[in-house]
Structure 1
């Protein structure tokens, strides 16, 4: 049995968001793993003039290439990429689906307030330059094209109805400290997806960028266990 695995990053992100998991899987399997960059995304954002349909089409094209060469396909989606992954799973009846911080719902206001207060405290103490969250999102906020945020919202709205059509085994992993996607998003996904085999895992130390979090090794092991099941 040959296996292909598609990984899809999130809105305003890049393949680096899921690359630690890709590296882990590549070191332990002989799978062909695709980790494409969605149009307008990457290390240097250029979102103006790009639409959510392009993002879905890019992921779908990568999937079709994998499907030509492999009879078993796993798909892993992070944040907005999780919603695209769910849509493709429903459309092509894929074998296993992993949702990481998937944006079925977005913005956890309580955690966002905590993160902002932490940044204010660091700024007050003169150590804001050491705040990892601030450094990661400072450039994104500066480079993000405002109207593309509506494309992100349209992408989530388009893909949500397809959650009801997912039948394969599903693993849902969410960071408890996620300030972008609320904890209830994972519970929403569990409720909406009718698969008989599904598991929800909350990582206590992880924020939104879950593959780079303090719990990342636990995440990698959980994903490996899930995709290794017969």
Structure 2
């Protein structure tokens, strides 16, 4: 019950002392954010893309994990990168974007880039998972990605309902934490997202405690933004966001000197 492409491993792109932890989504793998990671690394920044527990192997292993495992792995990556870098950013796709926002309250990061983070799911059957899990373990995954994605990137073709229940729990937990986020945030959301209701981005934007926040809506953008037609626009927006915060930091240092 899986679709396999190339071998699944964490990704690491060494660079300078500005670092970004980039987190993939639920049932996905580092490959789905790799183009964005490479674009950020091309700026000279250090980029770390962890492989979350239960991902990149088989659905049975994913069924044995929960949201606390996924968050702990992402947080471990932040702690590790802070040993190499002076300034660390969080970025992520879908559940990875929500993990980034969640961890921004607990880790001393400079800013967050969140792509297609879920508050509301498009497939309303997902909300039946707490009940269906007692009569079936897995549900087939509706395939909306194109064939190129399926051939070149690892993803599961089934969803463990126990893990889906945990994802729903995490969404409820993370949304309560949004007012506690104080760092600058860039939200990017496609208006044709087939997985996450685009209203999620509006909700997050208005709930964030951050004074500096921006919502970029991409016409025609689907869920896997780093792999879609708007991937260059996504990368440019992320680079501009980080550059602006790095410039602010450099100006602050100059004034103190």
Indicate the TM-score class for this superposition, using the shorter chain for normalisation: 0.7 to 0.9
Q: Please report the RMSD computed on the Cα atoms of aligned residues, expressed in angstroms.
A: 2.4
Query: TM-score with structure 2 length normalisation?
Result: 0.75
Q: CA deviation at 1:141?
A: 6.5
Question: 2:182 and 2:205 mapped to 1: Cα distance?
Answer: 12
Return 5+ residue gaps in structure 1 as ranges.
Answer: 110-128
Question: 2:113 and 2:225 mapped to 1: Cα distance?
Answer: 13
Query: Could you tell me which of 15, 19, 24 is aligned with 2:39?
Result: 24
Query: Could you tell me which of 181, 204, 209 is aligned with 2:224?
Result: 209
9-18 vs 44-53, which moves further: 44-53
SS in 1 for 2:160: coil
Question: 2:64 and 2:214 mapped to 1: Cα distance?
Answer: 38
1:39 has 2:53 as partner: yes
Aligned equivalent of 1:118: none
Paired residues, what number? 208
SS in 1 for 2:178: helix
Aligned equivalent of 1:55: 70
Aligned equivalent of 2:201: 186
1:172 has 2:187 as partner: yes
49-58 vs 143-152, which moves further: 143-152
Return 5+ residue gaps in structure 2 as ranges.
Answer: 1-15, 125-142, 248-257
Aligned equivalent of 2:211: 196
Q: CA deviation at 1:145?
A: 1.5
Question: 1:96 and 1:169 mapped to 2: Cα distance?
Answer: 5
Query: TM-score with structure 1 length normalisation?
Result: 0.83
Q: Structure 1, residues 44-64: CA drift from partner, whole Å, max 9, x if none?
A: 443121111111111011111
Aligned equivalent of 1:15: 30
Distance 1:39 1:131, change over 3 A: closer
Question: 1:144 and 1:134 mapped to 2: Cα distance?
Answer: 21
Q: CA deviation at 1:142?
A: 3.7
